[in-house]
A and B are shown apart, each in its own frame.
Chain A
Amino acid sequence: MSAEQSAGDTRPENPGGYRLQMSGIAKSYGGVRAIRNADFAVRAGTVHALVGENGAGKSTLIKILAGAERLDAGSIQFDGAPTAITSTTDAIKLGVQTVYQEPQLFPELSVAENVFVGRELKRGVRVDWSGQADQMHNLLGTVGLADRVATVPVGTLSIAEQQQVSIAKALAGDASILILDEPSAILTDSEIEVLFTVIRRLTATGVSVIYISHRLDELFRIADEVTVMRDGATITTKPIGELSIRQIVELMVGGVVSESRPTDGPEPGETVLELDNLSRTNHFENVSLSVRAGEIVGLYGLIGSGAGDIAGVVYGMDRATGGRVLVEGKEVVVKSPAKAKRLGIHLLPANRSAQGSFSFQSIALNIVVGELPLLSRIPGWASGRKERSIARDFIKRLAVKTPSENQPISAMSGGNAQKVVLARQLVKRPKLLVLAEPTQGVDVGAKEEIHRIISGLADEGTAVLVVTSDLGEVLRISDRILVIRAGEIAAEFTPDATQVEILAAAAGADPEVIGAAGSPGTSGAHRASGTPASVSKETQS
Chain B
Amino acid sequence: MTLEKPTTGGEGAAAPARASAHRILPPPVTGQEFVLVGVIAVLWILLGIFTPAFLSPSSIQPLLVSVAPIALIGVGMTFIIITAGIDVSVGGAIMLCAVITAKLLVTYDVPLLVAVLLSIGIGIVLGVINGMLIAYGRVHAIIITFGTANIFQFLALRVFGSSTVNGIPSTLEVFGRGEAGRTFGVPHSFAITIIAVALAWWYLRHTSGGRHLFAIGGNTQAARLAGIKVQPRVVLAYGLTGALVGLAACFFIASGTSTLDQSIGSGRELAVIAAVVIGGTSILGGRGSVIGTLLGAVLVQTVTSGVTQLGWPSQLANLFVGVFIIIAVGTDLLRERARKTS
A residues at B contact (CB < 8 Å) = 88-89, 92, 98, 104-110, 112-113, 117-120, 122, 125-127, 129-130, 132-134, 136-138, 141-142, 147, 150-151, 155-156, 169
Segment at the interface with A among B9-17, B31-39, B118-126: B9-17
With a cutoff of 8 Å between Cβ atoms, the chain A residues found around residue B17 in the complex are: 133-134, 136-138, 147
User: Which of A106, A110, A113, A169 has the largest count of B CB atoms less than 10 A from its CB?
Assistant: A106
Known A141-B10, A147-B20; 11 more pairs at CB < 8 Å = A106-B286, A108-B214, A117-B215, A129-B25, A133-B23, A136-B17, A136-B20, A136-B24, A137-B17, A138-B11, A142-B11
Q: What are the 7 A-B residue pairs with the smallest beta carbon separation, nearest first?
A: A130-B21, A118-B226, A106-B218, A104-B222, A137-B17, A112-B24, A120-B208
Return 17 A-B CB contacts under 8 Å, by A number: A104-B226, A106-B219, A107-B286, A108-B214, A108-B218, A108-B282, A108-B286, A109-B26, A117-B211, A117-B212, A117-B226, A125-B207, A127-B206, A133-B18, A136-B20, A138-B17, A169-B226
Q: How far is the CB of B280 from chain A (nearest CB, A)?
A: 12
With a cutoff of 8 Å between Cβ atoms, the chain B residues found around residue A150 in the complex are: 20, 23-24
Residue of A nearest to B225 (CB): A104
Contact partner, A137, options B16, B211, B214, Cβ 8 Å: B16
Say yes or no: B226 contacts A151, CB within 8 Å: no
Say yes or no: B20 contacts A127, CB within 8 Å: no
With a cutoff of 8 Å between Cβ atoms, the chain B residues found around residue A141 in the complex are: 10-11
User: Which of B24, B212, B225 has the largest count of A CB atoms less than 10 A from its CB?
Assistant: B24
With a cutoff of 8 Å between Cβ atoms, the chain A residues found around residue B207 in the complex are: 125-127
Interface residue SS majority, chain B: helix
Within 8 A of A (CB), among B191-219: 206-208, 211-212, 214-215, 218-219
Say yes or no: A110 contacts B26, CB within 8 Å: yes
Say yes or no: B208 contacts A105, CB within 8 Å: no
With a cutoff of 8 Å between Cβ atoms, the chain B residues found around residue A113 in the complex are: 24, 26, 211, 214-215
Q: Tell me, in angstroms, the Cα distance from A125 to B206 when the chains sit together.
A: 8
Q: Tell me, in angstroms, the Cα distance from A156 to B338 when the chains sit together.
A: 10
Please tell me the size bucket of the interface on B.
35 or more
Contact partner, B21, options A108, A110, A126, A129, Cβ 8 Å: A129
Q: Tell me, in angstroms, the Cα distance from A144 to B17 when the chains sit together.
A: 16
- B60 interfacial by beta-carbon distance below 8 Å: no
Say yes or no: A118 contacts B212, CB within 8 Å: yes
B residues at A contact (CB < 8 Å) = 10-11, 14, 16-18, 20-26, 206-208, 211-212, 214-215, 218-219, 221-228, 282, 286-287, 339, 342
Residue of B nearest to A92 (CB): B227
Given contacts A105-B219, A126-B206, contact A151 B227 (CB under 8 A): no
Q: Tell me, in angstroms, the Cα distance from A133 to B15 when the chains sit together.
A: 12
With a cutoff of 8 Å between Cβ atoms, the chain A residues found around residue B14 in the complex are: 137
Q: Tell me, in angstroms, the Cα distance from A112 to B14 when the chains sit together.
A: 17
Q: How far is the CB of A413 from chain B (nearest CB, A)?
A: 26
Q: Tell me, in angstroms, the Cα distance from A130 to B287 when the chains sit together.
A: 23
Say yes or no: A132 contacts B218, CB within 8 Å: no
Q: Tell me, in angstroms, the Cα distance from A338 to B70 when the chains sit together.
A: 48
Say yes or no: B218 contacts A151, CB within 8 Å: no
Say yes or no: A106 contacts B222, CB within 8 Å: yes
Q: How far is the CB of A144 from chain B (nearest CB, A)?
A: 10
Say yes or no: B286 contacts A130, CB within 8 Å: no
Residue of A nearest to B10 (CB): A141
Residue of B nearest to A138 (CB): B11
Given contacts A120-B208, A147-B16, A150-B23, contact A106 B215 (CB under 8 A): yes
Q: Tell me, in angstroms, the Cα distance from A119 to B227 when the chains sit together.
A: 8
Contact partner, A134, options B10, B18, B215, B227, Cβ 8 Å: B18
Given contacts A104-B219, A117-B228, contact A110 B339 (CB under 8 A): no
With a cutoff of 8 Å between Cβ atoms, the chain A residues found around residue B10 in the complex are: 141
Say yes or no: B215 contacts A151, CB within 8 Å: no
Residue of A nearest to B30 (CB): A108
Q: Tell me, in angstroms, the Cα distance from A386 to B166 when the chains sit together.
A: 67
